[in-house]
Structure formats: structure tokens, C-alpha cells
Structure 1
Amino acid sequence: QATIPAGGTGTTHFTFDTSTAGVYSLVNVNVNLDYAALINDKIVLVTSGTAVATPTPTPAPTPTPPPSSVGTVTDLTVAQLGSTGATLSFTDVTDGTGAPATYDIRYTSTGTLWGGASSVTQGTCATPLSGTQIGATTTCTVLGLTPATDYQFELVPFRGTMNVDAVFGPLSNIAGGKTLAPATPTPAPTITPTPTQSSGGGSSTPLPTTVPATVFSGGGGGSIIQTIPTAPPASTPVIPLALTRPLYRGIQGDDVKSVQDILIAHSYLAPANDTGLFGPLTREAIQKFQCAEAIVCSGTESTTGYGVIGPATRARLQSLASAPVSAVPPTPSPASSPALTLTRSLYRGMQGDDVKTLQAFLIGKGYLAPSNITGFFGVLTRQAVQKFQCAQQIVCSGTESTTGYGVAGVKTRGRLEAVSAH
């Protein structure tokens, strides 16, 4: 409400607050005059002292565009296989809102996907797996698989919460592979020698089995040299392993020594390194073990646990310790490792004398078990080359086709020849 001064004529300005709709009044008007009011940029003729103001409407907010479709994964691959685990790799896609998708990864050994497959529950691939960045490569592990078994893997990206409001994208491509067979120690043959000695009259009588191999004198004045075969060493007893804490570089104790004994028995660590102190050599041995078992094969101790004995690595070590292992052969002298000269790259499926030379070197350095000089570059030779590459810090992850992991290429050949020369 505004009041006009008595007898007011001419041009007089009055201010109204017309932010809300309503009736606004002029008081003390001269009935013989007309008044014009400017309300919300509109001139309104006032003849009775009142005017109705309509506020300027507020524009409606711009609607948020609906989400787009969830992306499609087309490059799911099995990067590595162990005896009880697999490492998967794929490129992150969008969830339709500009954020990376979440994933349900499934696997099967029966060949029936998708409905007949199980979601991953063990390892870093466990469902739901959150993406990190659109376009980035995600690598994760599937654990709890059966050795020497063919598996297929498939995933579906989605946004939201599973079984609540999830919006799914298309199924990915199918990736597959066969888990490695567990290392089975060869039982030592039972040898029952029956040595004999001459009685002088042409007959022979059994010698006591407790008599050592030596030269026995016959009754007729002659001598019989009897050599009693020596049985090869039997399997070593199971190494007890009870780990109740994480182990990493700098820690020491009896549990560290037990781990070192296991690593030595399975050729991940050189003999005479069971010191009870978790140092760089033990860390490298754990990294080789983690990579071979498809637990983790890249990163650092603080980011991915690479080189740290955490829950997953601890469980696998304890499983490994429950099975007998063959006695570790004595470490050969440097002279037993032949000088190495390789003139071509070697990889799985190749064969020849140069493959035999490579295998002999790997056996001499403890990367490959004895009796594997076959001249054929198979799975065991590839694993031995991978151990060598990892120990020499050439490459410690990836595949044969992407990083050369497991291939004796130019760089690995040069390092093999350099090491064999010392």
C-alpha cells in the first residue's frame, strides 16, 4: 500500500513490492484524477485507487537428460592361468551416466553360459566388481578353480545395485582356457638288491642286505666286485606351515623360515636362503609364486600386495605345503651350466637343440625341474622362462603376445647368455 500526498498531482513515483501476486492499493487518491501505475514493466491504468499485480513467472528448470545405454565389453581375455586360478583382463566401459560400470563376472566348466554359470566369489574378480576409469584396463583374479580343467568366462556391465535397481548392458565376449595341472612328485622306485658272493664251488649265496657295497673275496681265491644300486632320494616329508599373520619385507621369525623352506622346495628360492628374515630374495620368490598361481602379477607391495604374503597368498602356500614334494637336487656348480648361445627367439611349441640348451641352463639355475631336457618348448619351459624373466626384472606380467612374458626374445636371450657366462 502507498499513500498519495494530499492534493498530489503531476508525476509522483511510488514503490510497490510486487514479488507476489495480490491486490495493491493507492490511498488518498483524488477521485477527479486518473493514475497510471507501472507494475512489472507493464503500465496499468488505476481509476479507483487499486491495481492487481502479477509477478513475472520463474522459468522451468532444464530437465536432466536420461542416462545412455551401458557400454559393452568386447576384449575380455584370460591373461594367465595357474593350477587353481586365472587372471582376467578387459577395458572398462561406461555405465551410461559418465561413470565406469560395475561388473558381474561368471565362469563355468560345463560350457553353458550365461544362466548356467556361477558368479565369481573368490579372488579380486568377485561380483560385484567396480570399474576404475572408463577406457582403463582392469585386471583381476579368479580363485578356487580346479586344476587341469577347461573354463569359460563372461561378464556383464551394469549400473545401480544388483537385485534392486540394476540396469544391465550387453554380455561380453567369451574368454577361456585350461588351468594347469598340479605338480605331482614322481615316487621313488623301490629297489631291493640281491647281491651274491661266490662260495668257491660255483654256487652263490645271497649276501645280507646290510653288507655295504664292496669287494668280496670268494672261496676259490678270486674276487667278486658287487655294486649295490642306491635308491634315489625319496620324497621329502610335508613341510608344516602355520601362518597367522601377514608377512612382508623386514619381518623375521620361524614362520618366515617355514615359508622359505616351501619356496626352496618348489624352486622359487635358491637353497641356503632359509634365514628366517624376509628380505629382497624372499620377496622376489613370493612374487614368482604369486604370478605362477595367478594371484597377482604386477603392482607393488602397498598397492596390490605384490610380494606380500596376505590372506590369498597365505592360503595358497598352506595348500602347497600340504602335499609332499620331491627332494631338491643339489645346486650344480657354475661349470654345470653350459655356455648359452641362442640365434633365434624361442617360444611355446618350438623344438630343437637350442631348446635343449635353454632347458639345460634353466635346470642348472633351478628354474626348471631335472629330467625336462626334451628339446620341446612346452608349458613347463615357458613357466621356467617366466621365472627367469621375473627374477632378472625383464618382465613379470602380461602374455607372450603382449609383453613377451614366457618368450625367449632378444632381451631375454641376451640376459640368458650374460648369466651363463658367469
Structure 2
Amino acid sequence: MRKILNYYRPVRMVVLVNIIAFALLFLYKEPYDRNTIYWGLCVIGIIYLSHFLLRWKACGDEYIFLIVAMLVSMGNIMIYRLDKQLGIKQIIWFAIGIILFFLSYYMYRKFRFWSRWMYLYLGTSLVLFLLTLLLGDSIQGATNWIVIKGHSFQPSEPIKILFIFFLACYYKYPEQLKSFQITLGDRNFIIGSKSILAATAYTYMLFLVLQREWGSALLFFLIYFTLLYVFEENIKVLLANGIIALLGSAFGYLFVYHIKVRVDIWLNPWADIAGKGFQIAQSLFAIGSGGFFGKGIGLGSPQFIPEVQTDFIFSAICEEMGIFGGVAVVLLCFILAYRGFKIALAVESIFDKVVALGITVMFGFQTFIIIGGVIKLIPLTGITLPFISYGGSSLTTSFIALGILQAVSKKVYEMEDETIAQEQ
């Protein structure tokens, strides 16, 4: 009995946080809204049921879901506090995300031919990119949304997973990208698979640049370069990609007005604090005014930050939950990355290894890019904070990726069980 109670203590901590937070959301403002309690119970029920199913079916790593449950809880609490209607929508997306989490876990476990579908991943990505460019709506200056009957969808979110699967296919079966020869004059040039891989990866980034999705383009490059660093033995390939990145960054700053503005604001937001620097300045004021322990849920003023529910949700957390609340978010993301790296190192299949590492790197760099932007560590880019920011596309895609990572962890546990059985 004591062992069971000790094991369930982490999930009880997550539940306790939700109980306290939703009680505060219920009490901080009159007239009291009983729906707040009902929605809080929904969140608690989803977390408990999901944790029970993972334990009952022995679905691999027992902690990555608990880590994410705490991150989602902090996001739900803050979004509900800022806007009840958006908070309710986010809780509904959370429930849908959990369904997709288990569905992606089951499908990845059920089917064994994921490594043979390289061109399907490429084709699907191309179709989504073209649909976005042709039919997409421009929101906040970026043409990265498809709106269908009032519901918006961001294709670049699922494309991240397709991109990781494409890279995993290459490292599993490099021959799927066949080399070819071109003749220029009297000379013949062989275009190898590594060159084709690089060209394809940069094509993904080019589509994102055309959509003015600078943050996502940076994220795709970091995923690609990290996997190159881990799996590529030729240092010249890394140097060539590094030079391309430096040249692209320099070109963007010199010739793309939007990037130049972002860099200038990063260097000195106070020069135009009422205009272009307003957003980052308000973010810094919010983080600073929260102190170590925060003003308390509902007692701050994060609503003065534009796009606070999405890009600047971390600033709102720091203002009302304090620097300690912000540090908790960062540490939870670090622990999630640690568990992901551990899974990637332990699994034997190269395809599973690349998928696990790619998903972990995606979560890690996405967190670094957005938090680094809102605290003025790096230039600001408009991407979401995984599992915390408002947005159905981001949340559901993150849960699909988490379900795949959970499935890979199950393979690791099965390998360990087989090893123990052989030793006995």
C-alpha cells in the first residue's frame, strides 16, 4: 500500500495545483461562477483518467505525461484567468489532445512501416505548404493559417512532425534519397544523398519564410542541424550548413525589414517603447513586477501585453505566479527534455532514435526560442510555448508528438524486460 501511495504522489501534486488554482479563480472575483469549479474538475478528471490508463496498460515512461500535465495545467489556469471563453476552449482542446495522444501512441505501436514512407511525408508537407500559400489567411503579418467555417488551423504544426519523420526515414534508409548525375559542359557532377537531404530541408524552411514564419523556420533549422550534429560524421557537412545559416541570417537582417525590426527591438526596445517596442517592454515590466512569488492569480495586469495568451503566456505566469513559477516552467521543460534524451539514447532502432531525439529537440528549442524572446535574451519570434500557450493546432500537435515519444519509450521498456528475462 505504501508503494502505491508513494507512486501516485506525483499525480496528486498535479491535481493539488489544479484544485488550489481553480479555487482561487472561483473566489477572486464576484459574482462567483460555479462553471469555474466544473471546468477545474474536468481538467482533474482528464489528468487522473489518462494517468490511470498509462499505468494500467504499462505504456512506457511513467513521467513524461505527468510533466506535461503540470505544464498544461499552468497554461489552462493562466488562459482561463485571462479569458474564460478561451480557457474553456483550451480545456476542450486539452481533452481532444489527450485522445490524439493515445491514438498516436497506438498507431505508432501498431504499424511498423513508418520508415518506408519518406515520400508520403514529403508529399503531405508540400500539399500543406501550398494550401497555406494559396488559401491561407494573414494573421499578425504571417500567412500561416487556414480558416474553415470560422475555425483556424495552422499547417506548420503537423508539418514539424512530418519533417522529423522525413529525417528519420533518411537516417534509417539513406538510399531512399537516390543520388543522380548532372552534366554541365564537359564536366559531370554527382549530387549525393546528403546534398539532396540539405536541399529538401532548406525547401521546408523556404516555404516557412514565404509565409513569414520566421520562428518556425528557425525551429526547423535547429532540429535539422542538431540531428546532423548527432548522426553526421563528416564535419564538412556541419560547417557547410553552419555557413549557410550565417549567410541566411545576415541576408535576413540586411534585406528583410521585419527581421531587422525584430533585431533592433531586441537591442533597444526603449527607443520606441510606445510603438514597436511596446510588446517586449510590457513583457519585461510584467516579469519584473511579479517578483519572486508573484502578485497572485487574478491580481496582476498581464492583459496589457498584446498576444498574452499565445506568445507571451510565460510573462503572464511570471507576473502572477512569480519568478519561481517561471523557473518551474523552465525546469519542467528541462526534465521533459532529459526524459526524451534518455529514451532516444536507450532505443536501438535508428528510426525510433531519430524520431525520439527530433521530438525532444523540437520541444526543447521551441521552449528556448519563445522564452528567450519574451525575456529579451534573443530576438522575439512568434511561436507558441509547448503545452502552455493558447491554440488548438499547437496543443493537439504537441500531444500527437508526445504520444509518439511515449510509444518509443514503451519499446525501451520492452527491451529492458527482455534483457532481465534473459539474465534470469
> Normalising to structure 2: TM-score of the pair?
0.24
Structure ranking higher in strand proportion:
1
The structure that is helix-richer by fraction is 2
Q: Which has the higher contact order (CA 8 A, sep 6+)?
A: 2
Q: Which protein is bigger by CA-based radius of gyration?
A: 1
